[in-house]
Amino acid sequence: MHVLDLLQSDNLGLTLLWGEEALLGQEVSGVTATDLEDPGRFLGPGELVLSGLVWWSEGDLKKVDRFVSALAGAGATALLAGEETHGRVPDELVSACRAHRLPLVAVPAQTSFRAVTEAVYLRQWGDLSRRPTRTFALPENVRGELSRLLEAGAGPAELLDRACAHLGKVPCYVLTASGRTIARTPSAPAIPAQRAAA
């Protein structure tokens, strides 16, 4: 999953404000939403950063540079800036992203950050499941969370709930080897007993 993949999504309406082709091809590891002025310590390399720009105030170039340099220093792949709060993405943010070589994408007011996050995780899961090598079909951050839950004694229903949390209302099941349902998401209809036994 790359930044360019998101830009090519018709239903998100994203607009590239700055970004060189090589930077848009960087691998995305996950998504973080933040409006902290200096979020660097909360970010991991390869993350897309979603921000509503609540922290921004007009004319404060130091604040803009501190925010963008924190993202670049943490190894973020791009900043996706929401237009909802201010009606636009400020020019000084575009300049700072260009100076720090951090791709900047505008997120229109009608596109929710949840929709962007779901698009990233759905694409990541699809990419992983199509790889020819033996690999887990879950992004690293989800695998880590599920491992911690398992160590803490979580049952199948809780694990399934967390594994599917970023996918929206999808029908998913955990079945035994004999086909008995031991957990299902709320949107998954019950499997009739005779079908499950087949």
Q: Which of 68-77, 92-101, 153-162 has the lowest mean pLDDT?
A: 153-162
Instruction: For the chain, give the percent of residues with pLDDT over 90.
Output: 43
**How sure is the predictor about 145, in pLDDT bands with cuts at 50, 70 and 90?**
confident
Q: Looking at residues 153-182, what average pLDDT do you find?
A: 78
pTM of the model: 0.65
Question: Which residue bears the tokens 């220093």?
Answer: 73
Q: pLDDT tens digits, residue range 126-143?
A: 554 444 554 445 666 677
Q: 35-69 burial, b for 16+ CB within 10 Å, e for fewer? A: eeeebbeebeebbbbbbbbebbeeeeeebbbebbb
Domains of the chain, residue spans: 3-117, 138-197
* Cβ pair 66, 33 in contact under 8 A: no
**Could you give the residue ranges of the DSSP H alpha helices within the chain?**
3-7, 21-24, 61-74, 91-99, 113-130, 140-151, 156-163, 193-197
Whose CA is closest to 149, among 138, 170, 163?
163
As a whole number, mean pLDDT of residues 36-57 equals 92
Mean pLDDT of 137-166: 76
pLDDT at 97: 97
Q: Which two tokens stand for residue 6?
A: 């998101």
Q: What is the mean pLDDT of residues 64-88?
A: 95
| Distance separating alpha carbons of residues 178 and 38, to the nearest angstrom | 52
Q: Mean pLDDT over all residues of the chain?
A: 84
**pLDDT digit string (tens) for 89-114?**
999 999 999 999 999 999 999 999 98
* Length of the chain, in residues: 198
User: What would the CATH number be for the domain defined by 3-117?
Assistant: 3.40.1390.20
Q: Which residue has the higher pLDDT, 151 or 83?
A: 83
Band (pLDDT 50/70/90 cuts) for residue 80 is very high
